[in-house]
Every structure is written in C-alpha cells, then in structure tokens.
Amino acid sequence: MKNDKLSYYLQKFSILIVLAAMFLVCSCLSPYFLKTNNLMNIARQLCVGILIAYGEMILIVSGFLDLSVGSVLALSGVLAVSAYKATGSMALALLAALAVGVACNLFNALFVGNFGVPAFIATLGMQQVARGIALYYTGGANILQLGKFVNIGQGMVGILPLPVLILIGVTVVIWYMFNHTSYGRNLYAIGGNRKAAEASGINSIRSIYISYAINGLLAGLAGVIFMARNNAGLPNGAIGYEMTGLTAVIVGGTSFTGGVGTVMGTVCGAFIIGFLENIMNLLGVNSYVQSVIQGLIIVLAVAFDIRSKSKKSSKVIMAADDNAGKK
C-alpha cells in the first residue's frame, strides 16, 4: 500500500519533477539562465502562449480543440488596436478584443455543438476566416504607433511585468473553475464519455458554448497583450500559435482523447517548452534545429502518455482479478 501511494504521488507530480530537472540542467548549461532578467523574460514571453494553452486545455479536456486561435488572436488584436487609435480608450479596446474573440468562438461552438462538425474541421475553417478578415480589414498592412496601448504588454507593477500579473490572475480563475465548479467536472465527464455525461443530465451543448466562449475571451486578451508587446497591430501575427498552445497542453499531460488534464500540468508544460527554447537560444542553437527539436518533443510527449496509459490498463486488469480474488 505504501508503495502504491508513493507511485501515485510520483505520477501526480511527475511533470513538476521533469520541470525541476529541466531547470537544474538549464542552470548548469548556461550561467546566464538564472539571471533575474532572463527568468523574467521567459515569463513575459510565455504569457500569450499560456493564455492560449488554457483555452486549448478547456477544449481538449472536454474532447474538442481550437485550431483558429492564432488567427482569432490576430483579428481581435488588430481590431483592439484600431479601436484604441480611434477612441483613445483602453477599456473600449479591450472590450472590442474580447467581443471579437467570443464572437468568432460562438461560431465555432455553433458548428461543433449544434451541427456536429468535428472541431478539427470547424476551427480549421475559422482559422482561414478570421485571418482573412484581419488582413482584409487592415489591407494587409501593420498598424503602427500604438502610444500608451503598449503598457498592457510592457508595463510593470512593482517588480512584476503587467502581463505576468494578468496571467497569474487568469490562472487562479481557470484553476478554480476546473477544481471547484460543476462546470469543471462537466468538462472532464464530457471529454471522458460524452454519452454517459448526457445520460447523467449534463447539457453538453451548453458546455461547448461556454468552453468556446471562454476560449474566445482568452484569445482576445492574448491578442491585446500580443499587439502591445510588439508595439504594432499585426494582421499577420501569431501564425501557428495554436500549436504553441497545444504543445504546452500536451506536454503538460492533458490527454488528447479527453477527460484528463490539470492546470498545473499545463503551466509546467508551458515552462518546460519555454526553458527549452530559452536555453537553446542562450546556447546559440540554430533556429531551424530548434524547430526540429520542438516537433520531436510533441510526438515524444504523446507517445510517452500513451505508453504509460497502456501500462496502466494492463495493471487495471490485474487489479480487477485481484479484487475478485479477495471476495
């Protein structure tokens, strides 16, 4: 029994152990890694990616996903920037971004939830649509000179960058949602077995709408921070960011088949990727090679996940035999 507990905790916190090991290795490899400046930089860089990852995690846990988030982020970002330039109001700009993010995702939810289009296809379509609108609206040109808009991406509150502070706030909300609301439970149940969840009185369509709406809010917020950090409205920005988000989620132990995943895992997954990227930069690894390594990591993370699961399920059979034997 004691061994069981140990392996239970080892499994539960294995991702933290990987992160800690990564941290140790990185700090040995480069003396610059541990500098406050560098660590702050990593955190700042990860903000947008982690916001996206939360949206993806909500969707993947419940058995869906979003391939449109990079485009939606760009669309809501450029619209926020132009709203700000027109009115000078940060609040309006933020509101515009959130509204656009949610609107795009309600379309996703409509197709996935009501029409039963696979999420992969529905959001692949939205990826094109949102990017198209962003490019059409701006005529393909970047919007420059954002003035005080940049504060939301570059400002500091005490020693903490503002985006990091925002991220911490969002993390608490998402964590609470997963662990202390019935909506969180619904997500796990729907992802684990949608028919069983529905037969237990859970409204899966409503849950799909809520999930995509939250994903939209996160995309809008990420869009504002992204444009502010770049000091420009980039209609061509954030291409492929859905993959950045997905990588963090998957490396963080969320099962691609749904029903399993934790917020802590996703944060750790994002930092593992962030550390890796950072140390490769510090060591001067060729950026093309970096891309190869990142691709391999996604595949390996999933392979590892599947292997450990199939091991578990063979254990399961034995446990069942064992139980029967005790009767």
Partner 1 sequence: MNRGIAMEEIKLRVSGIEKSFPGVKALSNINFAVRKGTVHALCGENGAGKSTLMKVLTGLYKADKGQIFIDEKPVEIKNPIQAREYGISMIAQELNYVSELSIEENLFMGRLPLGKFGNVDWKTVRREAKKFLEEEHLDYDPAQKLKTLTVSDIQMLEIIKAVTNNAQVVLMDEPTSSISQAEVKILFHKIEELKAKGVSIIYISHKMEEVFQIADDITVIRDGEVISTDRAEDLDIQTVIARMVGRTMDNVYPKEQVALGEKNFEVENFNEKGIFGDISFYARKSEIVGFAGLVGAGRTEVMRAIYGLDHKDSGTVRIDGKEVRISSPSDAIKKKLIMLSEDRKEYGIVPVRSVMENASLASLKRYFYGGRSHKGKERREVQEIFGKMNVKTPSLETLISSLSGGNAQKVLLARWMLCEPEIMILDEPTRGIDVGAKFEIYKLMTDIVKEGKTIVMVSSELPELIGMCDRIYVMCQGRITGCLERKDFSQEAIMMLATGLSKTHKKEDA
Binding site for partner 1 (CB under 8 A): 4, 8, 179-182, 185-186, 188-189, 192-193, 195-203, 255, 258-260, 313, 315-327
In the complex, least distance from residue 326 CB atom to partner 1, rounded to whole angstroms: 7
Q: Provide the token pair at 90.
A: 């940060």
Nearer residue to partner 1 within complex by CB, 79 or 301: 301
In the complex, least distance from residue 262 CB atom to partner 1, rounded to whole angstroms: 13
In the complex, least distance from residue 2 CB atom to partner 1, rounded to whole angstroms: 13
CA separation for the pair 16, 264 (Å, rounded): 9
In the complex, least distance from residue 183 CB atom to partner 1, rounded to whole angstroms: 8
CA separation for the pair 55, 188 (Å, rounded): 14
CA separation for the pair 302, 308 (Å, rounded): 10
Cβ distance 212 to 106 under 8 Å? yes
Q: How far is CA 269 from the centre of its chain?
A: 10
DSSP secondary structure, 163-226, as one string: HHHHHHHHHHHHHHHHHHSHHHHHHHHHHH-HHHHHHTT--HHHHHHHHHHHHHHHHHHHHHHH
In the complex, least distance from residue 204 CB atom to partner 1, rounded to whole angstroms: 11
Nearer residue to partner 1 within complex by CB, 36 or 313: 313
Nearer residue to partner 1 within complex by CB, 76 or 255: 255
Q: Provide the token pair at 20.
A: 């800690």
Nearer residue to partner 1 within complex by CB, 64 or 226: 64
Tell me the sheet residues that pair with 143.
233
Nearer residue to partner 1 within complex by CB, 2 or 195: 195
Nearer residue to partner 1 within complex by CB, 159 or 318: 318
In the complex, least distance from residue 140 CB atom to partner 1, rounded to whole angstroms: 45
